[in-house]
Amino acid sequence: MKLKDLISGLNYTTVNCIGETSDVLAATEVSGISYNSSKYTRNSLFVCIVGAKSDGHNYAADAYNHGARVFVCMRELPLSDDCIQIISTDTHIALAVISANWFNHPECRIKLIGITGTKGKTSCSYMLSKILNDSGRKTAVIGTCGVTLLDRVIETENTTPASLELYGYLDLMANEQYEYCVMEVSSQAIMLNRIFGLWFDFAIFTNISPDHIGPGEHGSFEEYKEFKKQLFSLADHSIINLDSEFSEEFMAASTGSLYTYSIENSDCSMSAYNIHEEGIRTYYTVDGVDTFLPMPGHYSVSNALAAILCAEKAGIQVKDSAASLENISIPGRFQIVDTPLSGVKFIIDYAHNGDSMEKLLSSLKPENRLICVFGSVGGRTQIRRRELASAASKYADLSIITSDNPNNEPPEEISSEISRYMTSEYIVINDRKEAIKYAVSIAEDGDIVVFAGKGHEKYQLINSVKEPFDEEKLIKQYTKKSGAV
C-alpha cells in the first residue's frame, strides 16, 4: 500500500523526507506494519509505541536494521536519511488509523457490539453471541477467551487486542461474512486508544467495582471508571445495568439511545423477577417468559438480561433469546467438568477477585462439603488477597491455597499472604497440579469442588513464561484414576 493512503486521516509532520513530501508519500510502497521490532518485513512501517514497560522508540534502530524504512514516532529519531519519519503526537492513535487503512476499514463492514464492566463481560458476550448465532445472525466474539469464531478459537494476548491485531480480526470476520462482532472492551483498551476509530451499534455496561488499579494499570478508581464511561459516547445505543450504584454516571455518558435493565427494579427497559435457584439452575421470568439458566447466581441472570435486551433491540424476540440461553456454555465460567465421579461436581471458574469469588461460592449449595482451590496472581494484585481469603473463609468448608499465575513473585509468598487472612480450615499446596490431584483424592459424594481463578486459561504464568497448564484435562486425568479404583 502507498504510504500516502496508509496515513490518510492521521495528523502528522514528516522529517528526513528527501524531495517533495507529497511526492515521496505517494511513491513510497509499504509492505507491512509492525510495532514490535522482532516482527518485520522489508520496506515495512514501524510504529514506536510507548508502553508501561518499554518504549518502541528505543527499538527503532533494530527495526531499521531488519528492513523498516518508514517510522511513525513521537519524536525525531537518529536514523539514516533513507528513512521517512512520521511524527505524531500519539502513536497509539496513529497505529489505529494506519491499521484501519491497511485493512480497508473492516469496521464499516461488520456491526460492532461493545461490552464493558469489571465483571460479566465474557459471560454476557457469549450469551449474546449465542442468541445472535441461533437467530441466524453470524456472530464472532473478541475477548478474554480470545477470538471465537464459529469453527475455531484464536488465542490473543489481551482482552481487547492492540489495534493492528484488532482491525486484522475484524477484516477476517468481514471477509468471512460475519454480521456481528461482540467485543469485550477493557478500560486499558480505551486508555491506550486500541479502539480508536471504531463505532459501536450497541455498548453494554455490566457493573463496575475497584479493580485494575496499580502500577502499569490505572492510578485510581475514578480514572478506571472514566475510561470505561468513554465507550458510551461511541455507540448508537447504550444498555446500562440499573442495579449498579454508578448507573447514572454511565447513563449520563451515553450519547445515543438509552436502555436499562435490572433484577432489582421494574422501572426499566427490561427486568427479571421470580428469580430462584434449584440445584445448579437459576429460574427467572423476563417479559412474561418463564425460563432458566444452566448455572446459579442472580448475577448470571443480570448478564442474561443485558444480552436479551440487546438482542431485542436488534430484532430478536425475548422468548427466542431466553430459549437460546437454556443450554448456554461459557468457557471457564461455571464450567462443570464431566468426570467418572458422578457424585462430585467439579467446577472451573474464572473468579479471581473477592467480589466474583463471593458471588460464585455463595451461589453453591453442596449436599456435603464445598472445597475451593484458589490462589492469586503475582506481582500486581496484592489488594485482592485479603478479599479472596475472606470469601473463601466465609463459604468454603475447606480451602486449598495454591498458585495462580505467580509470574515473578515466589508462590510461597503469595500463599503466605493469603493464609494470613484465612479464618476457616485451609491447607497450602503451592504446586497447582498437586493441589488439583489432592482435591480430587479427597472429594466425596455430595461435594462441590471449585477451581477458581484460571477459568479458560490454558497456561500458568511463571517467571514471565506462559507454561502449558490445562486445568480441565488434569481434573479429568485424576478423576479417571480415582474412578477406576
> 118 and 186: one domain?
yes
Residues whose CB falls within 8 Å of the CB of residue 352, separated by 6 or more in sequence, listed in order: 376, 377, 384, 388, 404, 452, 453, 455
Boundary (domain end) residue, out of 102, 137, 169: 102
> 243 and 385: one domain?
no
List alpha helices for 187-271, DSSP H.
187-191, 221-230, 247-253
Cell numbers describing residue 17: 523526507
251 CB-side CA count, 13 A: 14
Predicted pLDDT of residue 218: 64
DSSP secondary structure, 147-164, as one string: EE-SS-EE--SSSS--HH
Question: Is pLDDT of 481 > 80?
Answer: no
Please report whether residue 348 resides in a domain.
yes
Confidence band of 54 (pLDDT split at 50, 70, 90): confident
Predicted pLDDT of residue 381: 64
Give the highest mean pLDDT range of 63-77, 230-244, 337-351.
230-244
Please report whether residue 387 resides in a domain.
yes
First to last CA, the chain: 64
Q: Are 48 and 71 in contact (CB under 8 A)?
A: yes
Predicted pLDDT of residue 380: 65
Confidence band of 342 (pLDDT split at 50, 70, 90): confident
Give the whole-angstrom CA distance, residue 204 versus residue 307: 9
Question: Is pLDDT of 294 > 50?
Answer: yes
Give the whole-angstrom CA distance, residue 125 versus residue 129: 6
Query: Which of 225-234, 293-302, 374-383, 448-457 has the weakest average pLDDT?
Result: 374-383
Cell numbers describing residue 168: 486484522
Confidence band of 39 (pLDDT split at 50, 70, 90): low
Predicted pLDDT of residue 279: 79
- The 3-state DSSP class for residue 178 equals coil
Q: 436-451 burial by CB neighbour count: b if 16+ within 10 A, else e?
A: bbbbbeebeeebbbbb
DSSP secondary structure, 366-408, as one string: -SS-EEEEE---TTT-THHHHHHHHHHHHH-SEEEE--S--BT
Question: Is pLDDT of 473 > 70?
Answer: yes
> 289 and 416: one domain?
no
As to burial, measured by CB atoms within 10 angstroms (0-12 exposed, 13-18 middle, 19+ buried), residue 484 is exposed
Cα torsion angle, 24, 27, 31, 32, sign: positive
Give the whole-angstrom CA distance, residue 385 versus residue 152: 35
Q: Are 343 and 310 in contact (CB under 8 A)?
A: no
Q: Are 309 and 269 in contact (CB under 8 A)?
A: yes
Strand duo 426-428 + 398-401: pairing: parallel
> 94 and 208: one domain?
no
Residues whose CB falls within 8 Å of the CB of residue 332, separated by 6 or more in sequence, listed in order: 122, 145, 348, 349, 350, 454, 455, 456, 457
Domain hosting 17: range is: 3-102
Predicted pLDDT of residue 220: 86
- The 3-state DSSP class for residue 477 equals helix
In the chain, how many domains are there?
3
> 113 and 128: one domain?
yes
Query: Which tens digits make up the pLDDT trace of 413-436?
Result: 999 999 999 999 999 999 999 999
Q: Which residue has the higher pLDDT, 335 or 128?
A: 128
Question: Is pLDDT of 484 > 70?
Answer: no
> 146 and 92: one domain?
no
> 305 and 390: one domain?
no
Predicted pLDDT of residue 53: 77
Q: Are 152 and 242 in contact (CB under 8 A)?
A: no
Cell numbers describing residue 204: 453494554
The percent of residues in the chain predicted with pLDDT above 70, rounded, is 95
Query: Which of 15-24, 260-269, 282-291, 359-368 has the weakest average pLDDT?
Result: 15-24
As to burial, measured by CB atoms within 10 angstroms (0-12 exposed, 13-18 middle, 19+ buried), residue 189 is buried
CATH at 46: 3.40.1390.10
Q: Interhelix angle for 298-313 vs 318-325, to 10°?
A: 140
Question: Is pLDDT of 358 > 50?
Answer: yes
Number of C-beta neighbours around residue 259 at 10 A? 22
> 198 and 86: one domain?
no
Predicted pLDDT of residue 59: 92
CATH at 137: 3.40.1190.10
- The 3-state DSSP class for residue 299 equals helix
Boundary (domain end) residue, out of 271, 295, 325: 325
Q: Which residue has the higher pLDDT, 135 or 482?
A: 135
Query: Which tens digits make up the pLDDT trace of 253-292?
Result: 999 999 999 999 999 999 999 999 887 899 999 999 999 9
Strand duo 13-15 + 84-87: pairing: antiparallel
Predicted pLDDT of residue 450: 97
> 118 and 48: one domain?
no
Confidence band of 19 (pLDDT split at 50, 70, 90): low
The residue written with cell numbers 428469580 in the block is 275
Give the total residue count for the chain: 485
Q: Are 220 and 187 in contact (CB under 8 A)?
A: no
Strand duo 146-148 + 139-143: pairing: antiparallel
Please report whether residue 330 resides in a domain.
no
Question: Is pLDDT of 317 > 90?
Answer: yes
> 287 and 365: one domain?
no
DSSP H or E segment with residue 5: helix 3-6
Question: Is pLDDT of 383 > 90?
Answer: no
Give the whole-angstrom CA distance, residue 310 versus residue 332: 23
CATH at 414: 3.90.190.20
> 140 and 218: one domain?
yes
Please report whether residue 429 resides in a domain.
yes
Predicted pLDDT of residue 193: 95
Cell numbers describing residue 66: 531488519
Boundary (domain end) residue, out of 54, 70, 102: 102
Confidence band of 333 (pLDDT split at 50, 70, 90): confident
Predicted pLDDT of residue 485: 39
> 317 and 340: one domain?
no
Question: Is pLDDT of 322 > 60?
Answer: yes
Tell me the pLDDT of the chain averaged across its residues: 92
Give the whole-angstrom CA distance, residue 471 versus residue 456: 9
C-alpha of 441 from chain center: 33
